[in-house]
Amino acid sequence: MGKPKVVLGVSGGIAAYKACELLRRLTESGHDVRVVPTAASLNFVGEATWAALSGNPASTEVWETVHEVPHVRIGQGADLVVVAPATADMLAKAAHGLADDLLTNTLLTARCPVVFAPAMHTEMWEHPATQENVATLRRRGALVIEPAVGRLTGKDTGKGRLPDPEEIFEVCRQVLRRGVAAPDLAGRHVVISAGGTREPLDPVRFLGNRSSGKQGYALARTAVARGARVTLIAANTALADPAGVDVVRVGTAVQLREAVLKAAPDADVVVMAAAVADFRPAEYAGGKIKKKDGEDPAPVALVRNPDVLAEISADRAREGQVVVGFAAETDDVLDNGRAKLRRKGCDLLVVNEVGEARTFGSEENEAIILSSDGSEIPVPYGPKEALAEAIWDQVTQRYMSRRA
C-alpha cells in the first residue's frame, strides 16, 4: 500500500505559517502531501517553502502543472483534504461550490473526507454569513473544526485562532484512521470531564489522584473527528487543548460539578471520565498548616463530595441524553462494575482495572463497556483512542436504536 495522499489547502491568512508545521508533521509521519495554496496565501508563505517541505510541486492555478497532474486528479486521488487555515472567503467559496482556482477545484473533485480549520477575526467567524456557510459545509459531511480562543493578529483576543498544528494533525490522523467521510456525531454536543480533582487542605497542599486526563482527552479528540461539538471540562490536566474543543478548566469536585451542570442542559452526551475525589477536607486552612515541634499532626477530617455522575444520571437535563461513567476498580472488577452501573444509574459504564503501574498516565487502556441494556463489550488492551472510539460506537448505536 502506498502512502496516504493528503492535500493541504492553504488560504490567505496570517496563520498560514502554522500550516508549515502541520505539513512537517504530515510528511514526517509517512503521508504524501500535496500543498495547494491560494494566490492570496502566497503573500504569507511562498511556493518554495511548500515545495521544499512537501517534496512536491505546489500549484495555485488549475493550468500550472497540467502536463504532470490534471487538476481534477489532485482531489480525486486524495485520501484526505485539509484546509488550514481556512479563511472566511474560502469557507464561502467552498459552501457555494465556486471553482476559480486549484484549491476550490480540488474541493469539488474530492470524494474523501474534508477537514477545514478556520482562522479569522472573531467578528468574521461569528458573522451569520460565515456561520451559515459553516453549517452548509457540515451538513454536506465536511468537518469544520471550531477555531480556538486566544490571541489573534495584533492585540485583540477572541475566538478565531487556528488551533495548534499538532492538534490539527491529530484530527487529520483520526479522520484518516477512520477512513469514512461521514462524521457520525455531527450535530451532537458532547460534554466530557477529564483529569482528576484536587481538594485543597491549605494554600499549598491538596488531596489528589493519579489521573492524567489522557482518556478524557482521547474521547474529546475522537469526538471532534466524528463531527461533534465538544466541551471538555478539564480538572488539573497538563495536556495541550485538543483542536476544535471548548475547554473549561476546573480544580475541585465542587467546581467540576458546577461546570458539568452548566453544560449538561445543552448536551446530547455527557461522559464522566474525570477521577472525582469522593471526599474533601472538612476544613480549609487559609494559611499554610505548620508543623509543631513534639506534636503529632491533627487528623484530617473529610466530608463527602457530591456524586456528579449519579446526579446527572438521575436528573437528565435533556430527554434522550446518554450518560457515560467510568469505574476504576482494583478487585472483583466486573462484579463491582455491574453494581456501580446500577447504583449510578448511567447508560454506559466503562470499567477498567487500575493499579499504580496500570492505566494512569499511560497511553494504553483496556476495559469492558457495560450497558444498562445488559450488553458487556470487552475492549482489548490498546491505545486510549481505540477505547474512545469503542465508547462513541456504543453511544451512536444507542441513538440509532432509539430512533428506530
Positions marked catalytic:
209
Nearer to ligand CTP, 276 or 368 (CB): 276
**Do residues 175 and 117 make contact, with C-beta atoms less than 8 angstroms apart?**
no
Residue closer to ligand CTP, measured from CB, 31 or 344: 344
- The two most distant CA atoms of the chain are separated, in Å, by 88
Instruction: Please choose, out of 5-13, 29-37, 166-174, 321-329, the segment that lies near ligand CTP by the rule CB under 6 A.
Output: 321-329
332 binds ligand CTP (CB under 6 A): no
212 phi and psi, to 5 degrees?
A: -90, -20
Q: Residue 274: how many CB atoms within 10 A of its CB?
A: 29
With contacts defined by CB under 6 A, how many residues of the chain interact with ligand CTP?
13
Question: 330 or 362: whose CB is closer to ligand CTP?
Answer: 330
The SS3 assignment for 50 reads helix
* Grid cell listed for 51: 515545495
The reply to whether 309 sits near ligand CTP by the rule CB under 6 A is: yes
Query: Which grid cell sits at 203?
Result: 494554600
Window of 36-44, 208-216, 237-245, 270-278 that interacts with ligand CTP by CB under 6 A: 270-278
Q: Measured from the CB of residue 131, what is the shortest distance to ligand CTP in angstroms?
A: 33
Q: Cβ-count burial of 306 within 10 angstroms (0-12 exposed, 13-18 middle, 19+ buried)? A: middle
Residue number, 170 or 307, with CB nearest to ligand CTP: 307
* 3-state SS class at 38: coil
Examine residue 347 and tell whether it contacts ligand CTP (CB under 6 A): no
Give whichever of 81 and 230 is closer to ligand CTP, judged by the CB atom.
Answer: 230
Decide: is 341 part of the binding site for ligand CTP (CB under 6 A).
no
- If one asks whether residue 83 binds ligand CTP (CB under 6 A), the answer comes out as no
328 near ligand CTP (CB under 6 A): yes
How many other CB atoms are found less than 10 A from the CB of residue 52? Answer: 11
What is the CA angle 358-312-211, rounded to 5?
A: 20
> Rule CB under 6 A: is residue 217 a binding residue for ligand CTP?
no
Tell me whether residue 27 or residue 236 sits nearer to ligand CTP (CB atom): 236
**Single-letter amino acid code for the residue at 221:** R
Q: Which stretch binds ligand CTP (CB under 6 A): 30-38, 204-212, 325-333, 369-377?
A: 325-333
Residue 308 sits in the site that holds ligand CTP (CB under 6 A): yes
Tell me if 326 contacts ligand CTP by CB under 6 A.
Answer: yes
The C-alpha cell that represents 160 in the structure block: 478565531
Distance CA 66, CA 69 (A): 5
Site stretch for ligand CTP (CB under 6 A), options 18-26, 145-153, 163-171, 326-334: 326-334
Q: Which is nearer to ligand CTP, 146 or 268 (CB)?
A: 268
12 binds ligand CTP (CB under 6 A): no
CB of 243 to ligand CTP, least distance (A): 24
Select 173 or 198, whichever has its Cβ closest to ligand CTP.
Answer: 198
Give the Cβ contact number of residue 22 at 10 Å. Answer: 26
305 binds ligand CTP (CB under 6 A): yes
Helical (H) or strand (E) element with 314: helix 308-314
Distance, C-alpha 96 to centroid of its chain = 28
The DSSP-derived string for 315-326 is S-SSTT-EEEEE
CB of 386 to ligand CTP, least distance (A): 19
Closest CA to 193 of 254, 260, 279, 258: 260
Which of 156, 278, 332, 376 binds ligand CTP (CB under 6 A)? It is: 278
Residue 308 CB, nearest approach to ligand CTP (Å): 3
Smallest distance, Å, CB 256 to ligand CTP? 8
- Taking CB under 6 A as the rule, does residue 274 contact ligand CTP? yes
- Residue 336, class by beta-carbon neighbours within 10 Å (0-12 exposed, 13-18 middle, 19+ buried)? middle
Residue 404 in contact with residue 372, Cβ under 8 Å? no
Between CA 279 and CA 351 the distance in angstroms is 21
Binding site for ligand CTP (CB under 6 A): 253, 272, 274, 276, 278, 305, 307-309, 325-328
